[in-house]
Amino acid sequence: MTLNDGQKAASASKPLSSSSSSPLEPVAPSQELATLLPQVVQMVQAFVEEGEKPGSNVTAWQSIPQLRQNVSLDLPDYGSVKDGDKKLLDSIQLVLENSVNPWTGRFLDKLYSANTPVGVCADLILSVLNANAHVMSASPMLSLAEEKCVEGLCEMFGFNDTPDGLTMPGGSSANTLAVQTALANIFPPFREQGLLGISELLFEKYGRVGKAARPLIFTSDQSHYSLDKAAISAGLGLSSVIKVPCDHTGRMDPAALSRLINDSISEGLGTPFFVNATSGSTVLGSFDDLRSISAIARRHGCWLHVDGSWGGPIIFSPTRAHSSLMDGSELADSITINPHKLLNVPLQCSFLLVRRGKALSANTLDAGYLFHSKDARENAAMKTMGCGRRGDALKFWLYWVRFGKEGLGKHVDAGLRLANDVVEAIRDEPRLELGPLAEPLFLQVCFRPKPPRDHKGVEPPSVEVRSKATRYVHNVLKERRRFAVDFAPLPGGIGDFIRLVVHPRTKREDLEELIEEVASIGEEFWERSEESF
Amino acid sequence: MTLNDGQKAASASKPLSSSSSSPLEPVAPSQELATLLPQVVQMVQAFVEEGEKPGSNVTAWQSIPQLRQNVSLDLPDYGSVKDGDKKLLDSIQLVLENSVNPWTGRFLDKLYSANTPVGVCADLILSVLNANAHVMSASPMLSLAEEKCVEGLCEMFGFNDTPDGLTMPGGSSANTLAVQTALANIFPPFREQGLLGISELLFEKYGRVGKAARPLIFTSDQSHYSLDKAAISAGLGLSSVIKVPCDHTGRMDPAALSRLINDSISEGLGTPFFVNATSGSTVLGSFDDLRSISAIARRHGCWLHVDGSWGGPIIFSPTRAHSSLMDGSELADSITINPHKLLNVPLQCSFLLVRRGKALSANTLDAGYLFHSKDARENAAMKTMGCGRRGDALKFWLYWVRFGKEGLGKHVDAGLRLANDVVEAIRDEPRLELGPLAEPLFLQVCFRPKPPRDHKGVEPPSVEVRSKATRYVHNVLKERRRFAVDFAPLPGGIGDFIRLVVHPRTKREDLEELIEEVASIGEEFWERSEESF
C-alpha cells in the first residue's frame, strides 16, 4: 500500500538520500553528522588544549554584568541551514569562548571539576543513542549498565540483603526521593492519603494530634540544603527539619541527635522518622559517624539516609583509614553518591541506593501505556517520582571499565595526599589563617588572609573585617581570572573563608600559585585597610 | 612557595605534560582526547549510517531475557588504561551494537525519537564544558541560553507579565515543581509549615478540618501519570487527585470539571487549588480546551497548569488551526514543554514556564556557600527544589539558531500532514480498525487488526480477543525487529491498540511498510484464531 501524498511535488526537489519532509532533516543525518561533527570535535579539542596552556584563564570575563554587555544570544525567526553551517558553528564558538574552561585545572570553585576524555566519549554515546532509561526495552544497554553499577556500589557499601537503586538527576533529587521513600515505607498511608493519612495513623496509634503527628527529619547543621528542600518538596515544611549541632570539625554530635529526638517526642513537636547523616559535608568535608548515628536512628524506628553525594567515593580508597570514614554504611537504609563530583564523571551522575530493594516500590504507580514487563528490573521509572531518565550510569560504567575499582580508589587517595600538603603549606605561610578542618582531613581547605602582627588598624580585626578580606581576595581572583575558588561563611560565627576544593587532578604548581596569590592579595588588603584607618 | 611533595620520586616517571598524580589523568587530557575522541566519532558515525541502511533493524535482540543471556557487563577491579584503549572502545562498541538504533527512523515507540546531528554536537559541547547551571558564574553561557529560551518560549505562549522559567530534568519533574510552586503561592504557610500549615490556614479561614482541608488537584483521566506522582511527591497522596472524564476524543470535559470542583467543596472532600490541562495527551494526543478550563480554574482560585510536555511545540506551527490548539495558554499560571520529545532535542530538555516570575521564589532557600549574587537571574537553583543542573537549554538554543522559529514550526506541520495521511491509509485498509482519534488529529494514531467479515470464530470477537490480536502484532513486530511501536489500553474499555507515534521525520515508505505489516500479521492472527475454534 502507498500513502496518499499531497506533498509529493514539493518534496521531489529534496535530496534522494532522505524522504523526510521535516526541515530538521535537510539531508540524511549521517551526511550532516559527517560534515558537522568533525568540525565541532576540532573546536572541542582546541578548547581543551587552550585550557591546558600554562597562561590560560579559567573564565572569559570578570563578572556577569560584563558578560551580559558583551554577549547577546539570538532567537532567530528563520533558520540558517540553507546558508550552510557557519551560523551554527559560530554560535558554538561563542559559547566555548565565553564559558568557564575547566580543563585549566584551576576551576576549584565547586565540588565538581573537569570531565575526562572518557566522559566526553560517554556523553557522545548517550547522545547518539538518545535512549530513555524509563523502561529497559527503550534503553537496554543503558539500563543494564545502571543495574550493574548499582550492584557494584551496593556491594562496596555493604548492602547485601536485596539491594537496589537507580540514577537520579542530582544529589538533591536523590535525597528528596530518599525522604519520599522513607515516608511511604514507615507510614504506609502516605502513598494514597499523603500526610493527612500519616496524621490519622499517628492519632490512632499514639493519640498524637497537630504538630505532634508531624513527621520530623533530623540532619546536621552542616548538611546540604537539599534536605531542607526535600522537606518542603514532600509537604513537610522547613520547620519539620531539626538541625543537629556539630563539633568544631563539622561532624554531627550523636549525643545531641539523641537528645533532640527525645525532646521532640516528649515536647510533642513531632514524630521522628528520618535521620540524615552526611559523608563529606559541603563546606568542610566532614564525615558523620554512621555507626553511632545508626544506633540512635534504629532505636527510634527512623530511616537512616546517608548523603554521600560528595564523600561517598571514599569507599573506593584502598587506604583503610580513608574508606573507614564510611564505616557502618551497611546499616543505612539508603545512600546517595554522586560520581559526577569527586570521580569526575560528567554532570549529572548521581545514584540513590537502598538496602532493601522493595523500599523503592512503596510509592510506585503503574502506567498502562508504558510498563508492559512483569520483571521489575525492566521498569526503572516505577522506582522514581519522575518518568523519563537519561542513562547517566553508562558514563560511570565506562569509568569503571577504564580505571577499575583500584584506579578510582587511587584517584581519591591522590586528592587526599594533595589536600594534606596544601594544609601544611598554608600552615607554614604566615600571611594566611587556616579555618577549621575536617578531622581527618578531606578535600576542602578553608583559609583566608591573616592580618599582619604589626597591623595598625583595629587590633585584632573583627570577624567582619576578616570576612571582608576574604571577599576582597575572592573578587581580585575573579578579576584576574586565573583561578575560580569559592568562599563560604563558616559555622561558629567566625565569618567567611575561601573554600578551596582540592580535586585529585589539581596540579601541584597551580596550588602553589594559588596559595601565593591569596597570601599576597591579602597582604595588599591589609595594607589598604591600614591606610583607611 | 613550594608544596612539600612526598610523591615526587614516584611521579617523576610521568609524562611531563601532566603533573597530576591521579590515575584518571594518565596523560594530558588533550592528548588522550585527541586519541580517543576521533575513534569514538567513527563508531558513532558508523552507528548512524548502519541505522540508515534500508535493511537495518531497530533493535539488536527480540527480548530482554535474550539480551541478558548474550551480554554481560563487567566491573573490573583493575583498569585497562595501561593496556591501551582497546577495552574501552570494545565496551563502547558492545553498547552501540546492543542498543536500540533510533537512526533507523523506525523507532516509533515513544514520544521521543532520534536526535539530530545538531543535538549530538550540542551534547558534545555540554560535555566538554561540564558546567553546572545552578549559578550563572559556573555556567555563564548555559545560563544565558536558558534565560533566552525561557524568554522566547514565554513570548510564544503569551506570558507577557513578568515571565520566568527554567529547564527541569524531565516533564514529570516540571509538573511536580508546578504543583509545589502552586502550593506555596496559594497557601503561603506551605514552605515553612508544610501541609499541616495549610490545614491550619484552611481551618482559620473556612473552618475546614480533616479531609475538607486537603488541597485537591484536578486533571483529566487521560492526563499523564506524573500528575499522580506529583501528588504523592508533595505529600498530598493519590486520593487528592480528582480525575475528570474526557469526551471520546480524549479531551477533558469542562462541565465535568466544574461539577467535580463544586462537589468536592460541597461534600467536604477537599479544597481545590490546582487544575492541570493537557496539551497533547500521552495516548491519543488530545488538547484540552484551555480557555474554558481557565475560566473554571479562575472562578475557584485555582492555579492553572498546562502540561504541554508533548504537544507544547504546536505553538511553533505557522498553521493557525494547529497553533490555536493552545489558545488561551496566556491564561495559564505555568506550562511544561519538552523540546526533547516532538522537537528532537536530545534527552532531557524540558522547561517549566511561569506567568509571574515571582511565583518560582515562593519555596526558595538560600545557601551561604553557593549563592553570592543579589541578581536573582544568576541563581537558577533558587527556583528549583533541586540544586545541580545540566545546562539542557543550550541544546534547544542551538536548534533555534539552526532551524529558526519557522523551521521548528514547519517540522511540526510536516508531522501533522504525515499523521493525516496515515489515518487515511488505515481507514482505506479493510484489515485494520482505527481507534478513537484526537480531534483535530495530532501525531498519535491508534489502530489494530480488524477481524475478517467471514471470521468463523466467536462473532464479533470480544474486546479481549481484539486486544490479544494487538499484543500478538506487537510481539511479532518485536521479534522481526524492523519497527518499534508501543501499544496501550484505550479508554472506554475498548481494549488494547497499537499506538503509533508519527514523528515528523518518519519516512513515508516506512509508514507504508508498517501499516502493511500490522495488517498482514493481523490476518495471520485471525487465521490462527479460527483454527483454534
Q: Which residue of A has its CA nearest to B387?
A: A172
Nearest to A317, CA basis, from A418, A420, A408, A441: A408
Q: Is the pLDDT of residue A123 over 70?
A: yes
Nearest to A240, CA basis, from B143, B386, B195: B195
More reliable by pLDDT, B460 or A62 = A62
Contact indicator for B164, B150 with CB cutoff of 8 Å = yes
Distances A77 to B116, B152, B322, B337, B402 between C-alpha atoms, Å:
20, 11, 18, 19, 10
Report CB contact under 8 Å: A512, B37: no
| Chosen from A347, A365, A486 to mutate, greatest number of chain B CBs within 10 A | A347
Q: Is the pLDDT of residue A295 over 90?
A: yes
Count of Cβ atoms closer than 10 Å to residue B319 Cβ: 14
Q: Which residue of A has its CA nearest to B241?
A: A192
What is the average pLDDT across B31-47? 98
Chain A and chain B share a number of CB contacts under 8 A equal to 632
Contact indicator for B174, B305 with CB cutoff of 8 Å = no
pTM: 0.96
ipTM above 0.90, yes or no: yes
Report CB contact under 8 Å: A80, B118: no
Contact indicator for B142, B133 with CB cutoff of 8 Å = yes
Report CB contact under 8 Å: A385, B112: no
Backbone angles phi, psi at B310, to 5 degrees: -95, -50
B403 vs A contacts (CB less than 8 Å)? 23-24, 79, 81
SS3 track for B27-71: CCHHHHHHHHHHHHHHHHHHHHHHHHCCCCCCCCCCCHHHHHHHC
- One DSSP character per residue, B446-504 reads EEEEPPPTT--SSSSPPHHHHHHHHHHHHHHHHHH-S-EEEEEEEGGGTEEEEEEE--T
Write out pLDDT tens, residues A371-398.
888 888 899 999 999 999 999 999 999 9
Q: What pLDDT was estimated at residue A2?
A: 65
Q: Is the pLDDT of residue A451 over 50?
A: yes
Q: Which residue of B has its CA nearest to A394?
A: B95
Q: What pLDDT was estimated at residue B366?
A: 86
Task: In chain A, count H helices and then E strands.
Answer: 15, 12
- pLDDT confidence band for A458 (50 / 70 / 90): low
User: Looking up cell 499560571, which residue turns up?
Assistant: B333
Given A32, A120, A173, which is nearest B127 (Cβ)? A120
Q: What pLDDT was estimated at residue A387?
A: 93
Q: Is the pLDDT of residue B13 over 50?
A: no
Report CB contact under 8 Å: A239, B127: no
Q: Which residue of A has its CA nearest to B175?
A: A386
Residue A330 exposed, middle or buried by CB count within 10 Å (0-12, 13-18, 19+):
middle
Q: Is the pLDDT of residue B14 over 50?
A: no
Q: What pLDDT was estimated at residue B457?
A: 63
Q: What pLDDT was estimated at residue A457?
A: 62
Q: Is the pLDDT of residue A480 over 80?
A: yes
Report CB contact under 8 Å: B130, A347: yes
Given A74, A148, A378, which is nearest B401 (Cβ)? A74
Distances A87 to A315, A412, B343, B394 between C-alpha atoms, Å:
47, 42, 20, 15
Report CB contact under 8 Å: B4, A425: yes
Write out pLDDT tens, residues A12-46.
333 333 467 899 998 999 999 999 999 999 999 99
A26 vs B contacts (CB less than 8 Å)? none
Contact indicator for B389, B380 with CB cutoff of 8 Å = yes
Report CB contact under 8 Å: A144, B73: yes
Rounded Cα distance, B38 and B35, in Å: 7
B505 vs A contacts (CB less than 8 Å)? 20, 22, 24-25
List, in sequence order, every residue forming a beta bridge with A383; answer none if it has no partner.
Answer: none
The backbone region for B270, taken as left when phi is positive above 0, alpha when psi lies in -120 to 50, beta otherwise, is: left
CA A23 remoteness from chain centre:
38
Q: What pLDDT was estimated at residue A373?
A: 86
Write out pLDDT tens, residues A142-192.
999 999 999 999 999 999 989 999 999 999 999 999 999 999 999 999 999
Contact indicator for A231, A217 with CB cutoff of 8 Å = yes
Distances B511 to A1, B114, B420, B427, B481 between C-alpha atoms, Å:
10, 16, 12, 14, 15
Residues above pLDDT 90, as percent of chain A: 89
Nearest to B440, CA basis, from B263, B219, B285: B285
Give the type of residue at A520: S
B121 vs A contacts (CB less than 8 Å)? 36-37, 40, 88, 92
What is the average pLDDT across B351-370? 91
Beta strands in A202-295 (DSSP E): 215-220, 241-244, 271-278
Contact indicator for B273, B303 with CB cutoff of 8 Å = yes
Average pLDDT across chain A, whole number: 94
Report CB contact under 8 Å: B170, A169: yes
Given B28, B110, B140, which is nearest A52 (Cβ)? B28
Given B33, B366, B508, which is nearest A45 (Cβ)? B33
What is the average pLDDT across B76-84? 95
Given A172, A400, A504, which is nearest B386 (Cβ)? A172
Q: Which residue of B has its CA nearest to A101?
A: B129
Report CB contact under 8 Å: A232, B385: yes
Given A47, A79, A424, which is nearest B128 (Cβ)? A47
B180 vs A contacts (CB less than 8 Å)? 232-233
Given A210, A211, A400, which is nearest B75 (Cβ)? A400
Report CB contact under 8 Å: B403, A71: no
Given B194, B224, B282, which is nearest A240 (Cβ)? B194
